[in-house]
C-alpha cells in the first residue's frame, strides 16, 4: 500500500515546521522527519490508528506523533494523509474531516 499526503496535510506540516523553526530549527526538522517516518509505517499497518470522525467512520483513522494528530483515510491501495494538527486544537469536528 502506498502513502500519499493531501495538499492540506502538506500545508499544515509546512506551517508547523515554520512556526517551530522560528525558535528551534532542529526541533522543527525532527518533527517533520517524525511525521514522515510515522506515516510511512501506515503502508504496512494501515489500521493501526484509532477510528476517527463523528460518528466514527470505518475509512478514517488517526495516529499521534508527539503532540500532533495525523488523520488519514484508508483506500483500496492507498493511505491518504488528510491533516496534521496539534492535539490541543479542537478536534473531531467537521473542520478536521475531508
Global confidence as pTM: 0.85
CATH architecture for the domain at 2-91: 2-Layer Sandwich (3.30)
H-type alpha helices, the chain = 7-21, 25-40
Mean pLDDT, the chain, rounded, equals 88
CA 73 to chain centre: 10
Q: What is the pLDDT of residue 97?
A: 47
Give per-residue pLDDT as tens, 13-49: 999 999 999 999 999 999 999 999 999 999 999 999 9
Return the closest-CA partner of residue 69 out of 52, 56, 46, 55: 52
Higher pLDDT, 55 or 94: 55
Q: In what order do the strands lie in the sheet with 2-5?
A: 2-5, 78-86, 68-74, 57-65, 50-52
Residue ranges covered by each domain of the chain: 2-91
pLDDT at 56 over 90: no
CA distance from start to end of the chain: 20
Q: What is the pLDDT of residue 59?
A: 86
Amino acid at each position: 500500500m502506498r502513502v500519499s499526503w493531501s495538499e492540506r496535510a502538506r500545508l499544515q506540516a509546512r506551517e508547523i515546521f515554520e512556526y517551530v523553526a522560528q525558535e528551534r530549527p532542529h526541533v522543527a526538522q525532527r518533527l517533520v522527519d517524525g511525521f514522515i517516518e510515522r506515516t510511512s509505517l501506515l503502508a504496512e499497518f494501515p489500521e493501526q490508528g484509532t477510528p476517527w470522525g463523528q460518528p466514527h467512520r470505518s475509512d478514517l483513522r488517526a495516529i499521534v506523533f508527539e503532540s500532533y494528530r495525523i488523520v488519514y483515510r484508508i483506500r483500496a491501495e492507498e493511505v491518504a494523509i488528510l491533516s496534521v494538527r496539534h492535539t490541543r486544537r479542537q478536534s473531531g469536528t467537521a473542520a478536521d474531516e475531508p
